[in-house]
Amino acid sequence: MGLALTIALKDLRLRVRDRSAFILGVIAPLGLALIFNAVLGDLGDGAFTLRYGIVDQDGGSVSTQFVGLLSDLDRQGILELSYPADETEAVDLVDRSELSAVFVIPAGFSDAVSSGTAIDVRVLGDVDQPTSASIAKAIGESFSSEVRTVQLSIATALTGMAGPAGTSVDDLAARATRVPPPITVGNVAAATRELDLTTFFVAGMAIFFLFFTVQFGVLSLLEEKKFGTMARLLGAPMSRVSIIAGKGIVSFVLGAVSMTVLVVASTLLMGAQWGDPFAVAVLTISAILAAVGLMALIAAFAKTAEAAGTIQSIFAVGLGMLGGIFFPVALGEGLLAKLSYISPHRWFMVGLADLAGGGGVAVVLPSVVALVGFGVVSSAIAYSRLRKGLAA
Amino acid sequence: MTVLEVSGLRKRYEDLVAVDQVGFSIESGETYGLLGPNGAGKTTAISMIAGLLERDAGEVLVGGEPVTTKSIAPKAKIGLVPQDLAIYPELTARENLAFFGKLYGMSRSALSARIDDVLTVIGLVDRADDRAKEFSGGMKRRLNIGIGLLHKPLLLILDEPTVGVDPQSRNAILESVEGLAAEGMAVLYTTHYMEEAERLCDRVGIIDQGVIRAEGTRRELVEMVGEKDRIHMTATGNLADVLVALRGLSGVTEASISDHSIDLIASEASRILPTVLATAAGTGAVVSSVEVIEPNLEAVFLHVTGKALRD
């Protein structure tokens, strides 16, 4: 172990000298954190506000129900609701970006619902605020969908069986509209085991970048060969295990420094909520082990440092995409969602999401086991290959 | 005391036998040269001797202990100076020495003193704390050698240490090697420079196509050629025709072409020289220079392999 540390210290000194450790371990993650802060800072501060308007041209029982629902959300601070006098004023406010979107409930809406006629709430969104507009559209579609469900239920009741004595269509419709609000916009916080947006992006980039950072340690195995120093290492009185372990230690240290800088910086600068520090540390260490193992595996089968670096980068990006850090591939039950679990990135994000619901190490244990599994299996194969294949 | 014993060394790469039945020994204080052209199998042989490369057959004993790729303790008896520079450019000369010294288990106090000694031997005391990347080619070569010397090995293996070095640095390197042998170190020196082998080596093994063709002291090897001289001439024209014509001359025992020159091994070279020149001219070739060289290792190489050393 002493010789492995000697090799690791030499490599780290080289990385400090050529500034690559500083760039990889500090500048790059810190730069990423600052970029995220600039892009997502408002989200982290809670300054991201849904400013909606509603124009109720109907004034009936069903439209009143919808207006009441939005008013409740306004009172809860989830959105800011205003009431333009008419659609023209509403459109003007949206054009001037004073409102993100406007719901327009057309005249005759409640009657149409009662009579079973198809009718929708219209949503007019600001093109410059696509996220807010999309949320408004989703609320509108959800409400319309629920209304259709109510209509279908009533129609079924009337055609399939006799209605209760003394009930009219209007009565049934009125009852149906008194069911609990169909739309719920919850606070996506810890209790729901979901990461907030800031933490999600920062964590995603952290695990993504980790795979590039740890490359440098294991790649130096091939660089020693390229620069002729592998002959000296192999000729020295030590086992090949020490050489391989030394490189692994360098990768681990670079990964740990990078992740620590990013976690601390994102917490202080952006208010990212990583969760219980000890559990985050355990999860992060597991992720670093997985990254080191997988990158070492690629290095073990590559013939040159350049080839290894290229393949490692492709894998890092591919696993990141599959793991859902760029696109929500993990949503749903499809094949891609299942496949996402072959990516360490997915397990890391799952672990953090679990941690967001509260708790400590026990909560992240499944992810830790999976990540350590990645690390152990890939490291074992890489070690076996490298031990036999190390050559001057 | 026998420091290195090599026997039956063999290495095969698919259809190519790189080293075949190589065997020799080196005593303490002796410098043994492996002389052969590029691709002769020198580096493959010493890679197996130093425990860098798995061998297909054979045995290597250093200080009586077998050396394999898995050996640990016996490797501490070997100092290796690879042909390619094996130093870290971003580290200073002192840091390079310190790193490799630690790998050889040297204590901090012993290492510090030894580094100063080695820096003196390789003439880099004044540049000890400069990064190796700032050194000239010759200085890097000297540092490369210094690392091999650091732990006072029983056996120092130098693989073509003067390739690409300016004459001044080359001389400094050769003087260093002479000094080490004088102090009792066993030295295995590979080269394709006949002059270096003649100057440094107590015994020389002539290696070609992975096989040691001849071995002995310089005197023993030269005696193999007999009293014959070497005629080296450069010429233009159809040298193949010249070669055929010269081979037919009485007194010429070996003849070979390389580049624009022809080498002959001949008895009484001075006497037959006019005939040689006339024969060459008779084929239409124009001889631009001619030199009669008394027997040396290059003549021996030509004698035992049938080709010039630089081929």
pLDDT at A42: 56
Residues in B touching A232 (Cβ below 8 Å): 80, 82, 86, 100, 147
CA distance A244 to chain B (A): 14
- Sorted by sequence, the CB contacts under 8 Å of residue A52 that are 6+ apart come out as A70, A79, A80, A81, A82, A99, A100, A101, A102, A103, A132, A136
pLDDT at A156: 61
Within 188-227 of A, beta carbons closer than 8 Å to B belong to 227
pLDDT at A182: 40
Does B110 touch chain A if contact means CB atoms closer than 8 Å? no
Calculate the CA B207 to chain-centre distance.
10
Sheet holding A122-125, edge to edge: A80-82, A51-56, A101-105, A122-125
- The percent of residues above 90 in pLDDT, for chain B, comes to 55
Contact B86 A13 (CB under 8 A): no
Helix/strand/coil percent split, chain A, to 5: 70, 5, 25
Contact A232 B102 (CB under 8 A): no
Does A335 touch chain B if contact means CB atoms closer than 8 Å? no
Helix/strand/coil percent split, chain B, to 5: 40, 30, 30
The span from the CA of B221 to the CA of B33, in Å, is 13
Contact B80 A238 (CB under 8 A): no
Mutate to test the interface with B, among A232, A233, A390 (most CBs of B within 10 A): A232
pLDDT, tens digit, 9 for 90 and up, residues B206-244: 999 999 999 999 888 888 877 688 899 999 988 999 999
Beta bridge partners of B13: B16
Q: Could you tell me whether strands B2-13 and A122-125 are parallel, antiparallel, or unpaired per DSSP bridges?
A: unpaired
CA distance B11 to chain A (A): 15
pLDDT in tens, chain A (392 residues): 789 999 999 998 888 887 877 787 778 777 776 776 676 655 544 445 688 999 998 888 888 888 888 888 888 777 889 999 988 898 888 888 788 889 888 888 888 877 777 777 888 887 767 667 778 888 877 777 777 666 666 666 556 554 454 556 566 556 555 544 443 333 333 334 567 777 888 888 888 888 988 888 888 888 898 888 999 999 999 988 999 999 999 999 999 998 998 888 888 887 888 888 999 999 999 999 999 999 999 988 888 888 888 898 898 889 988 888 877 665 556 777 888 889 999 999 889 888 877 788 888 999 999 999 999 999 999 998 888 777 76
What single-letter amino acid sits at B70?
A: K
pLDDT at A150: 65
Global pTM value: 0.70
pLDDT at A130: 67
**Residue B68's pLDDT band (cuts 50, 70, 90):** very high
The span from the CA of B207 to the CA of B12, in Å, is 16
Could you say which of A228, A238, A239 has the minimum Cβ distance to residue B82?
A228
Contact B52 A391 (CB under 8 A): yes
Does A91 touch chain B if contact means CB atoms closer than 8 Å? no
Query: First and final CA of chain B: distance in angstroms?
Result: 36
pLDDT at A152: 62
Contact A227 B52 (CB under 8 A): no
- Sorted by sequence, the CB contacts under 8 Å of residue B22 that are 6+ apart come out as B6, B8, B9, B10, B41, B45, B58, B207, B210, B211, B212
Contact A392 B100 (CB under 8 A): no
List b or e across A367-388, with b for residues whose CB sees 16 or more CB atoms inside 10 angstroms: bbebbbbbbeebbeebbeebee
pLDDT, tens digit, 9 for 90 and up, residues B141-165: 899 999 998 999 999 999 998 887 8
Residues in A touching B76 (Cβ below 8 Å): 237
The span from the CA of A101 to the CA of A136, in Å, is 6
- Sorted by sequence, the CB contacts under 8 Å of residue B74 that are 6+ apart come out as A237, B51, B62, B63, B65, B66, B67
Could you say which of A17, A227, A235 has the minimum Cβ distance to residue B78?
A235
In B57-128, alpha helices (H): 93-103, 108-121
Does B279 touch chain A if contact means CB atoms closer than 8 Å? no
pLDDT at A171: 66
Contact A236 B73 (CB under 8 A): no
The span from the CA of A51 to the CA of A36, in Å, is 24
One-character DSSP codes across B277-305: HHHHHHTT-EEEEEEEE-S-HHHHHHHHH
pLDDT at A332: 56
A16: closest chain B residue by CA? B90
**Residue B311's pLDDT band (cuts 50, 70, 90):** low
Could you say which of B52, B80, B90 has the minimum Cβ distance to residue A17?
B90
- Sorted by sequence, the CB contacts under 8 Å of residue A306 that are 6+ apart come out as none
φ and ψ of B262, to 5 deg: -125, 135
Contact A235 B52 (CB under 8 A): yes
List b or e across B213-222, with b for residues whose CB sees 16 or more CB atoms inside 10 angstroms: bbbeebeebb
B131 three-class SS: strand
Which element (helix H / strand E) includes A213?
Answer: helix A197-213
pLDDT, tens digit, 9 for 90 and up, residues B264-283: 988 888 888 999 999 999 99
The span from the CA of A193 to the CA of A165, in Å, is 47
| Spatial CA neighbour of B99 closest among A233, A326, A255 | A233
**Residue B310's pLDDT band (cuts 50, 70, 90):** low
pLDDT at B86: 92
pLDDT at B6: 95
- The percent of residues above 70 in pLDDT, for chain B, comes to 99
| Spatial CA neighbour of B216 closest among B226, B203, B198, B206 | B203
Could you say which of A6, A17, A228 has the minimum Cβ distance to residue B103?
A6
B96: closest chain A residue by CA? A10
Tokens 């420079």 found at? B193
Does A6 touch chain B if contact means CB atoms closer than 8 Å? yes
pLDDT, tens digit, 9 for 90 and up, residues B81-134: 998 899 999 999 999 999 999 999 998 888 999 999 999 988 899 999 999 999
B165 three-class SS: coil
Complex ipTM: 0.79
A60 Rama sector, left if φ>0, alpha if ψ -120 to 50, beta otherwise: beta
CA distance B78 to chain A (A): 8
pLDDT at A155: 61
Does B51 touch chain A if contact means CB atoms closer than 8 Å? yes
pLDDT at A153: 61
CA distance B299 to chain A (A): 34
The span from the CA of A100 to the CA of A129, in Å, is 6
Residues in A touching B150 (Cβ below 8 Å): none
